[in-house]
Structure 1
């Protein structure tokens, strides 16, 4: 940089000053992420990365489907360098040519990940950064949960909420209900029919997990399938509510990172991804109850572990619906649901 004490000409100063914005623009990374917990992400992830790389992060927020649509609308001139989304949306993005293979040789923290996060869709196009379990929150003073099928027992079904088929929790909960009934058919026909038979008894088919807090608080429900990310506010209601560990196991979900095809900032995107997967960042996000760590080196306290999805045994035993199965059956699930449940 040319300093004024050198008595340089105004023309040279103008040229020097004009060169800096161009250089700064080359070190700008645009990311698209979920909207929740942005204050924590800014403190734990964004600002420390900017300090480390000497670059600027431009952060766009929205849900997974919204960012997928935006990436497709800008396919020929990507406006986002890196994004996070669900496994199914990541597979859709890969099939539509919106993302590119991830060079994992440039990710120093890749080998620290649980196996389920390393290449979740089996196409090399995504890397998992957080996962969550889905089980049943239930009033232990009113009932006991030993199986997913307990939700539909005559003594309980009139006091439960069940996730709508259109939510992220709907298909996984139905899949586990099917396992409890002796079927793992991807069409979910048998568990949907079972829910349909009790549709008039079930308190509500919820669309947002935030609805469950008030329903539990007011005593309107005794149980509901939920994702672990929704557990903390329910656990703090001061009621005898437990997290079930049914004999069929727990299901859940995995959120992944992708790199936009044609980005001019591939190396910077990979540097950011690697920073996000680092042990320190993953631990700090876990301690803040923001993300459950995909990095297997992360160690947390018992109190934190009780409020997130944590540990090698949990990661190993989660029964996730493969993204391919999700995409190939969504229309069928909705058709069956509308016929048997939403009629």
Structure 2
């Protein structure tokens, strides 16, 4: 072997070693999210973040209960860095010591999001990345809805669907009914009594948005409670369906991003949370009708805005059910519902 060949071989070895070293040093961020709209998230969020950070994003998905259980099992050696949860699920995880505080100084995009989303759990344990409104949808040619109590008007008997207590829409419906009744009771006793009184007038206590769409389409119901995320599919129905603006306001929910306690790379986790909250990412997800934006710099045309909970006015109209109240009272709600409504 000539000296030239030896040198060439040495250079090639160094190149291979250098490549292997670079691959070994590539950072990995593992996130836990809901399984919906993952293709849209990949295009708008995961791939651009990977290009920006030179890292790899590993996605784990599943239901909230599955992912919370997994977080508990791996508490001593967490496999996840960032988790996306409902506000109540995130507070439950925080109360169990599974989350770490977010450092606002490392998330500058916090300055551009709605105030209610900046620290919804308290103690900087999470930040809202999307929210939605919940109200009453109804056949505007057949009935008029001005209050949450209108769901129980005599002319609506046998033509109303309500969400089941076990879904996300059930408790917040009781929250607004209790508010409309005018009695402050975190256990929603009056609201549960009201539903129980009229339970035979309710066509069904639905468990999924697809059920509601079918019921409206088949004209089995003319009014129901639903989240804004169902609105795009309802708008496609060839019938006059309106979104109510009850005098008591609307309710809704919020999803949050949280930093897992013991995350392998908290710096990279903060970068990812900050990127998700950016106007650029929030704009793309909103345009795809994936998430209603919390970033106030997002601007949408009317056709896109109609399918989301969008804008300061819509945000201001929402009465959020505090996550602490959800955790403290959900057993009482379920017990009251099972004994009076589901029996």
Query: Shared fold (TM-score greater than 0.5)?
Result: yes
The verdict on how the C-alpha distance between 1:302 and 1:5 changes in structure 2, with shifts beyond 3 A counting, is farther
| Deviation >6 Å, runs of 4+ | none
Counterpart of 2:78 in 1: which secondary structure?
coil
**What residue is the counterpart of 1:183 in the other structure?**
183
Unpaired segments ≥5 residues, structure 2: 1-5
Cα contact 1:175–1:184 (8 A) shared by 2: no
Matches within 5 A, 1:31-42: 31-42=31-42
**What residue is the counterpart of 2:266 in the other structure?**
266
Matches within 5 A, 1:20-169: 20-24=22-26, 27-169=27-169
**What residue is the counterpart of 1:282 in the other structure?**
282
The verdict on how the C-alpha distance between 1:151 and 1:110 changes in structure 2, with shifts beyond 3 A counting, is same
Unpaired segments ≥5 residues, structure 1: none
- Number of residue pairs matched? 338
**What residue is the counterpart of 1:295 in the other structure?**
295
How many angstroms does 1:184 deviate by? Answer: 3.1
Counterpart of 2:187 in 1: which secondary structure?
coil
Cα shift readout 1:168-223 (whole Å, capped 9, x = no counterpart)? 00011111111111123111110111111111220100111121111111111111
Q: In 1, Cα distance between the equivalents of 2:21 and 2:299?
A: 46
How many angstroms does 1:67 deviate by? Answer: 1.3
Q: In 2, Cα distance between the equivalents of 1:60 and 1:258?
A: 15
Q: In 2, Cα distance between the equivalents of 1:181 and 1:67?
A: 37
Counterpart of 1:128 in 2: which secondary structure?
strand
Q: CA RMSD in A?
A: 1.5
**What residue is the counterpart of 1:230 in the other structure?**
230
Cα contact 1:116–1:315 (8 A) shared by 2: no
How many angstroms does 1:22 deviate by? Answer: 2.1
The verdict on how the C-alpha distance between 1:23 and 1:341 changes in structure 2, with shifts beyond 3 A counting, is same
How many angstroms does 1:121 deviate by? Answer: 1.4
TM-score (norm: length of structure 1): 0.95
Q: In 1, Cα distance between the equivalents of 2:288 and 2:12?
A: 51
Q: In 1, Cα distance between the equivalents of 2:58 and 2:264?
A: 15
Deviates more, 1:315-324 or 1:143-152: 315-324
How many angstroms does 1:313 deviate by? Answer: 2.1
Cα shift readout 1:244-276 (whole Å, capped 9, x = no counterpart)? 000000000010000110011111111111111
